[in-house]
Structure 1
Amino acid sequence: MGVKHDSPMLEPAVRYLTIRSLGAPAVLLSLAMQGVFRGFKDTKTPLYATVVGDATNIILDPILMFVCHMGVTGAAVAHVISQYLITMILICRLVQQVDVIPPSLKSLKFGRFLGCGEIQLEPWNWITSLIVTDPLEMALKVLCFLQASSLAARDGPTIMAAFQICCQLWLATSLLADGLAVAGQAVLASAFAKNDTKKVIAATSRVLQLSIVLGMGLTVVLGLFMKFGAGVFTKDAAVIDVIHKGIPFVAGTQTINALAFVFDGINFGAQDYTYSAYSMVGVASISIPCLVYLSAHKGFIGIWVALTIYMSLRTVASTWRMGAARGPWAFLRK
């Protein structure tokens, strides 16, 4: 990740990640169950669980970090507790609707499960399935942010601190659009299944319109907050100065980000997984070299220029797919 052995960031980072890793099973389970509830068109239960878990995290953070003097260890412990709390809430609600625990191993029917995957044993189908799966797409998305974090870490604690604050604000506000993406995904999946093209067009238009409005509103709010409220995160004047340099990118890209996230939901609702994966390969192949080159020449600003290019390419790729009436959108030619 670019952190040198004599860096003051190394020891706290290792300690934090080691503890946070204990929450990995809870994260995987909660994500899987959130997908199940979305399939039921129940977005309230995941929201309730997340709010309870995050509120717990927010309450425990200052207590463990400052009152108990645990520092970053306390932050990690608070997060792990919140993750397992979210998982327990979702499990308790899910067992009321489905049989989560099988009565016997035979009822799992592993034979039928393996039989459904016979086609994947053919070499080409197996390789193709690996290329177009959602995990690859998600891995490439994460890789771009990991690369950006690694490059920021090479510039020392001040740049890294400013980058992380900017990045967390950038993602937290952008992910508000994920609510629109989830709603669009559920509605579109149902409309495509019924071959209701009018509903597909209406739902797609509405979520895209709302994402633009949301993005523009977030640009104003986030720009003002970062300008006058950066002190909420740090009292270090050098870090605050660097944060101010990131305002045009963090706040200014909110509309692009909102569209990118909403297009993800639209593509999944249309079951356009193959194109999503392939387009993400293309986006990453351009964005990662841009990150390396621009960070080497422009430092902190270069990283954010590259991330702006990354999100813009994601939006352009999805816009082209729909505008060209390709794949599931072929009906638009009519």
Structure 2
Amino acid sequence: MQKDLTKGPVLSSIIKLAIPIIGSSFMQFAYNFTDMLWVGKLGSNAVAAVGTSGFFLHLGWAFASIILVGNNIAVSQAIGSKQENKAQNTAINALLGVLLLTMLYVGLIQIGHVHFIDFFELNNTETETMAHNYLRMASLGLFFIFTTRLFTGISNARGDSKKPFQITLIGVIINIVLDPILIFVLDFGVLGAAIATLVAQLFSAVLFLMQRSYIFLGARKKWDLSFYQMLNLAKLGLPPSVQYMIFSVIAIVMAKIVAGFGSDAIAAQKIGLQIEAMTFMTIGGLNGAIMSFTGQNYGARDYKRVNSGYKSGLLIAIGFGLIMTALFQLFAEEMVRWFVQDDATVRIGASYLRIVGWSQVFMCVEMIGSGVINGIGKTRYPATINIVMTVVRVPVAIWLSQSHRLGVDGIWYAIFISTFLRGILVTSTYYYLNNTWLKR
């Protein structure tokens, strides 16, 4: 199935595309959420181990997004300009590029995992051992995760967001079934969570390849494998990818600052991030829909429709952001207790949610603006803003978290300040571009 996003009512077109993408995002979220629910029963040390490893897995995604983001933009614009062969050749070169990048990164983890985990100076042998085991096993699943994300991006760019949702749902069900069996019945502990996710993602990747490889990649005899085209995709995706990589590195540095406050703080941050992902995943789905919608309409040179799409997305984003802010303020402790019952962890995690909760609207607004700007191919603008604002977090967090100031809460305030500024600056950039590139 493929949908032309250059025709029909703007709002309904975006919503129809966004809902399955949001559903798929929540299915991806469900992998981590399910793992954390079960791992949380092993105690705060286990949560800290998975959380510590997770930063490096996310860095791998940022690395692969050099190709993933460029592919999504290029395919949507090719579809919008009715160039099917170009879309298919873009996809096959993107797949090869992603696999090569993943091979490089997984090899790096397998060789250097000890140094990665030691960076945090956890000073807890049990936590460190669990983190090493989890990271090595989970990294092997990146091959399947990135293949699934590539095919998901291609499908969304073509206007079909239902198939990724269906395939991801199957993977989540497999993960939900395997988690308790591998973690507790077979007594693999946190390693069992990594294996469960690996197997589930393997099934998802195989299903995508079986059902969509010919449609997305075309006939093998027509493949035009080109290192030059991979470089073009990397050039298109590099600005947002650098943004994601720097964001991941800064997240690791911020986690090290948090580690100075003990294992409870590390676990609380991981849980807080997991809960906040409800906002990120939902608006991330809308971001994906907006980018595909913008890409097709920009490719068709319908600039007024691009602007209408932005306004519609912004309205949804503000409303949802306000709802999440209210939930974080009212039910912070209850949400943290989904995962752990330790009072110290709950107290720190609830404080995280309340402080960062005030930034949810600005996060949503920023992601809509970034989706539109990336969709027209001007990826360097939101990337530059997000890089600068993310780097700012470190000195602000160090200053505010000093014992005579705000302590660990100062780290959460640093996140709030940077997210607030990102929302304001990306919105201003969109209106600047609207008056120059889009206003015709």
| TM-score interval (norm. to shorter) | 0.7 to 0.9
Higher relative contact order (CA 8 A, sep 6+): 2
Q: Does 1:142 align with 2:260?
A: no
Report the AA paired with residue 393 of structure 2. S
Alpha-carbon distance in 2 for matches of 1:231, 1:118: 46
Alignment of 1:85-100 (within 5 A): 85-99=203-217
Distance verdict in 2 for CA 1:116–1:175, change over 3 Å: closer
Q: CA offset at residue 331 of structure 1?
A: 5.2
- Give me the whole-angstrom Cα distance separating, in 2, the residues matched to 1:184 and 1:119: 22
Q: Of 36, 50, 61, which residue of structure 1 is paired with 2:154?
A: 36
| Distance of aligned partners of 1:134 and 1:232 in 2 relative to their CA distance in 1, 3 Å threshold | closer
Cα pair distance change 1:333/1:34, threshold 3 Å: closer
- Over 3 Å counting, the alpha-carbon distance change for 1:222 and 1:51 in structure 2 is farther
- Give the deviation of 1:117 after TM superposition: 8.2
Alignment deviations for residues 308-332 of structure 1 (CA, whole Å, 9 cap, x no partner): 1222232122111123xx3465156
Residue of structure 1 in register with 2:379 after alignment: 273
CA-atom RMSD, angstroms?
Answer: 2.8
Q: Distance in 2 between matches of 1:51 and 1:254?
A: 27
Query: Which deviates more from structure 2 when the two are superposed, residues 289-298 or residues 154-163?
Result: 289-298
User: Aligned residue for 1:320?
Assistant: 428
Give 3-state SS (helix, strand or coil) of 2:243's partner.
Answer: helix
Question: Which amino acid in 1 is paired with 2:297?
Answer: A
Residue identity over aligned pairs, in percent, reads 22
- Distance in 1, matches of 2:370 and 2:237, equals 18
Tell me the secondary structure at the aligned position of residue 215 of structure 2: coil
Partners of 1:45 and 1:329 lie apart in 2 by 37
Helix, strand or coil at the partner of 1:86: helix
Instruction: Name the residue aligned to 1:311.
Output: 419
- Report the equivalent of 2:31: none
Q: Which of 181, 201, 226 is residue 83 of structure 1 equivalent to?
A: 201
Letter in 1 for 2:133: R
Q: How many residues are treated as equivalent by the alignment? A: 320
Q: Once the 2 structures are TM-superposed, how far is the Cα of residue 213 of structure 1 from its aligned partner?
A: 0.6
Aligned positions of 1:131-210 closer than 5 A = 133-210=239-316
Residue segments in structure 1 that go unaligned for 5+ positions in a row: 121-127
Partner of 1:95, secondary structure, is: helix
Which deviates more, 73-82 or 145-154? 145-154
Provide the C-alpha distance between the structure 2 equivalents of 1:13 and 1:88, rounded to a whole number of angstroms.
Answer: 28
CA contact (8 A) 1:175 1:261 kept: no
Separation in 2, partners of 1:33, 1:288: 35
Q: Verify the 8 A CA contact 2:400 2:411 in the aligned structure 1.
A: yes
**Contact 1:19 / 1:76 at 8 angstroms: preserved in 2?**
yes
Distance in 1 separating the partners of 2:267 and 2:218: 43
* Deviates further, 203-212 or 280-289: 280-289
CA contact (8 A) 1:249 1:304 kept: yes
Aligned twin of 1:2: 120
- Residue in 2 that maps onto 1:72: 190
Query: Is this contact kept in 2: 1:272–1:327, CA < 8 A?
Result: no
Other-structure match for 1:252: 358
- Aligned counterpart for 1:290 among listed residues 392, 396, 411: 396
Aligned match of 1:264: 370
TM alignment of 1:234-253, pairs within 5 A: 234-253=340-359
User: Kindly tell me: are residues 203 and 100 of structure 1, through their superposed partners in 2, closer, same or farther at Cα, counting changes over 3 Å?
Assistant: same
Please report the TM-score for the alignment, with normalisation by the length of structure 1: 0.85
Q: Which TM-score applies when normalising by structure 2?
A: 0.66
| Shift in CA distance, 143/117, structure 1 to aligned 2, threshold 3 Å | closer
- The answer to whether the 8 Å contact 1:166/1:250 transfers is no
1:154 shift after superposition: 2.7
Alpha carbons of 1:100 and 1:17: their partners in 2 closer, same or farther (altered >3 Å)?
farther
Q: How many Å apart are 1:281 and its aligned residue?
A: 3.0
Provide Cα deviations, 1:238-261, integer angstroms capped at 9, x if missing partner. Answer: 211222222322433221222222
Cα gap change, 1:273 to 1:44, in 2 (>3 Å): same
Q: 1:115 to 1:98 in 2, by over 3 A?
A: closer
Contact 1:263-1:318 at 8 Å conserved across structures: yes
Rounded Cα–Cα distance in structure 1 between residues aligned with 2:121 and 2:219? 44
Q: Output one character per residue of 1:204-253: Cα deviation in whole Å (capped at 9) or x when no partner.
A: 10100100111111222344442334322112122112222223224332
Q: Give the gaps of 5 or more residues in structure 2.
A: 1-118
Amino acid at match of 1:41: G
Distance in 1, Cα, partners of 2:364 & 2:237: 26
